[in-house]
Copies of this chain bind each other. A is one copy, B any other.
Amino acid sequence: MPASITYTVVEMSPEELDEERVVLGGLADAVRDLADASLRTTVSYDDVAEVRAELERLTARLRTEQIPGSFGVSVSTDGAVRGHGNAVVGLRNPIAPPLLVERSEEGRARASFHLGAVYEGPPGVVHGGVVALVLDQILGEAAAAGGSPGMTGTLSLRYEQNTPLGECSVEAWIERTEGVKTIVKGEMRRADGDTTVRAEGIFILPRWAREAIEEHGQRPPRFE
């Protein structure tokens, strides 16, 4: 993997992106359900060994044609950028819950989602690092929603109480902007709406985005 980062672009029409959402998003959904089942199963070790052998066969079948490295982002012909491989919101990424983010132009983002057994830390509780993972993403989404997409510069989290596994939600909003820095606050909430963790972050417009803006003479791409 190179140390320098390239901004990979794959041109797709909105229709092609929709088809990807249904077919390959459906595959990711199936792998998510399998991950939960493989963690919780108590079938016999013989059954487990047979399932494993079948999974290895199916993996080999998927690998007969594949992109050489990581996923990158897809840019549709209408200019929208979709991070379908993203570890939090990527509908093609089986480790992403995935979050379906609602955004408003004044720099606010929110999402409701379910965190099951694979996101556990202490018994029955969402892993503290998983809370950080989703908060980092939603704070970045708020920055982007307000027209200031950026990469995480700092992130500070205060854990006020446990977040039980199950239904959860996050919300974030821009506090203020200072040049290439956007200061964002956000919260994790449990099913009854109580705040469990508070976050504050500084997001910085990265060089590749600044270069893309200069090259294409336009504002940062919308991330969807």
Interface of A with B (CB < 8 Å)?
1-3, 5-8, 19, 23-24, 26-28, 30-31, 33-35, 37-43, 45, 47-49, 51-52, 54-56, 58-59, 61-67, 69-73, 83, 85-88, 90, 92-95, 116-125, 127-130, 132-137, 140, 151-159, 162, 164-166, 190-192, 206, 208
Closest to A63 in B: B37
Give the shortest distance, in Å, between A61 (CB) and chain B (any CB).
6
Which of B73, B118, B136 contacts A123, CB < 8 Å? B73
A85-B118, A133-B133 given; 18 more Cβ-contact pairs under 8 Å: A1-B164, A3-B190, A5-B122, A5-B162, A6-B124, A28-B39, A30-B59, A34-B58, A34-B62, A35-B35, A54-B58, A55-B58, A71-B120, A93-B120, A95-B118, A128-B136, A129-B135, A129-B152
Distance (whole angstroms) from the CB of A220 to the closest CB of chain B = 13
**Are A129 and B123 interface neighbours, CB within 8 A?**
no
Q: Are the C-beta atoms of B155 and A157 separated by less than 8 Å?
A: yes
A interface majority secondary structure: mixed
A33 closest partner in B (C-beta): B59
Q: Once the chains bind, are A121 and B59 in contact (CB under 8 Å)?
A: no
Contact between A133 and B129, CB atoms less than 8 A apart: yes
Considering the chains assembled together, what is the distance between the CA atoms of A88 and B114 in angstroms?
18
> Are A34 and B55 CB-contacts (below 8 A) given A39-B94, A129-B87, A140-B128?
yes
Q: Are B125 and A136 in contact, CB atoms less than 8 angstroms apart?
A: no
Give 5 A-B contacts (CB < 8 Å), ordered by A residue.
A26-B48, A34-B34, A87-B121, A152-B159, A156-B157
**Contact status B92-A39, CB under 8 Å:** yes
B39–A85 CB distance below 8 A: yes
Q: Are B95 and A35 in contact (CB-based, < 8 A)? A: yes
Complex contact A122–B206 (CB within 8 A): yes
A112 and B76 alpha carbons, distance in the complex (Å): 37
Is the pair A24, B48 in contact by a Cβ cutoff of 8 Å?
Answer: yes
Q: Bound complex: CA of A54 vs CA of B87, how far in Å?
A: 25
